[in-house]
Structure 1
């Protein structure tokens, strides 16, 4: 599915944690406290907005990562802000950049999610986005009154119904329901309020939502699953897909699959932006960028690395022989299927030992672009033109320098080539992403 020549890239910044690389906080010149410092995060988002990024994207965890304490003590992701609290604060020091937060359909309720995102959308004048996740970390269950994590297929079944309920709640009020007529004393017109009265297999929600319809109609919907049910959920609901293909052929296959499913579901495939996550390390030469990565990877302790491998596999890898390949008889687990299968395939493809595979994941495995700005721009253009991506979710190797390198060196090169905007053309995140404002399903707009 090749793309048109005049198309531009979309860029979002993955900012929770501020770097996915577990050695980032130790890199020379980095801010070790960046993940939990409002001062630093305010600086980062303002730099990203000045560079005209589409959105500032926060992942989230509902439990401390399930790793041994010897590994946990080396992790810079132990603490971080709750996404809604932070993004609400950052909405007041920015004007245009989108604000995307992760919220779980497994361990929250639709009314909570609908209300929080509607509030964020109003606070930001239309810049909110909801990243739908079913939660992959089994430890989360124990923080929400459960002994075991909900089965993978059941989590996605609940997520699909959850989406319908949340979007239905956002449509509780017609856009013109609040007349606020001082003379007549009418604040809201009752006939423009819809009570959802949803009763489904998983959820029961009366409604209506107790907040006006969001500025964008609905906040932008982001989805991050790559499993079979994840792809189908993305095709039916997502407007942005956060994914992690390892190379261009895999990305093109994923791109065609999700957009093909969307078309089959009666959606416009152009209304789904697929933005693979990628690490960007910029140097004057490829060799310099590679040396930066080697330095960065050298800061990852083996205790942390083997725990990252355990999380990816969903099973304790600490007892595996570090100098042999992964065992063939890995037990089945209820962890993320995409992460597990991708890790196994990486080990097989590159014939990696457990130690080598752990070190790769303990830093940041997956897609990476390394080199001078012009070389990276060449590569990004190929991905865009050949239908591998509509843009990228940028992950930074370390902060602040890794972020500064992207916004000060790579973005100007992309702008020079006409591959990225020089200014925002709209004010809402939907406008940045070229997405329509959804019609209210319960009220026909009158002129």
Structure 2
């Protein structure tokens, strides 16, 4: 099966795939158009794996039997077009790694809430003593873990649409689809259906013995279910209606009901609050019930979970103002949930690389809650056009330090200063993590 494998991209997933390919006896070559981080370079050199950086040498790439592509590389770049024209299979690291394990998978996707739900499921399963690993769009790559660690019985995987695009034979034993709202449309020819199709790849290859957990309140998911033949057993969750098998919200509590065996948790007891986290908790709780984990153990884990860095993370209170880091909010829907969860007036820091954003859904909420908007980005034109006349005060800044100081001076005691960009970070920052860390650092320096 394994001959010459070329890895495009030398980040965590690429280096992990290279280590696994080498362990399986493949000839391996790693190519990265950018410069490789020293730690990854040292690892490749230490294992004697050939690589290049700062270029893609087509003569070394187009002789591959199979190519494993970083999810960050779009399909329309010249090297991918050349590979497809030659008929060379291009797959994701998850697809590649899954070929070399008998483990089962809980796979989680959605436009928002993936990381929180993935970590919550992992928290519950490990809390119950199950043999489980964590991979995908979070932590160490699946390929690295399969190459270097003792194999796990189960892996909990956070999967982005970009990872799903490169997956063909992979099967999720339990698939979770949280929501589908406009995101990354720049990668999908600005066609929403293309993005929806990408998300629904999470159920491909599932059988009647598998499970599909999804949000019954999401219109895009419901529309697709009407035209798709889903073979897996369906377990919906809803904030609006009671469901017979799945989870729902009623009388200030979440009810998990599987095979007429119910348990419930009052929402005020949950460690993570907000409507979006209600959905995340429902999905995670259904998964836990499928594993037949004891109800007291599930409840204890739901109450002890600490949440995710850069997702509605409380940083500090300064002069009575609460600073909240929601840098992970890289699309409009995610920022909608952040604003919805605020109980006070908000100074909103937003902006970055627009991914085809439609701000219509958030305007009413912004009018109600936002007293000032701080636009942080190299091109704020779309934000200015959409919120002029809706938000009383709008300012433009070009650095995080400037954004934090402006928000501080615009706020009053009792206000929330919320970094929830609704955009990607790549104009001013390496990624959303760097953006969030810099926000926290600037707040501490006030």
User: Normalised by the size of structure 2, how large is the TM-score?
Assistant: 0.28
Give 1 or 2: higher strand fraction.
2
User: Normalised by the size of structure 1, how large is the TM-score?
Assistant: 0.28
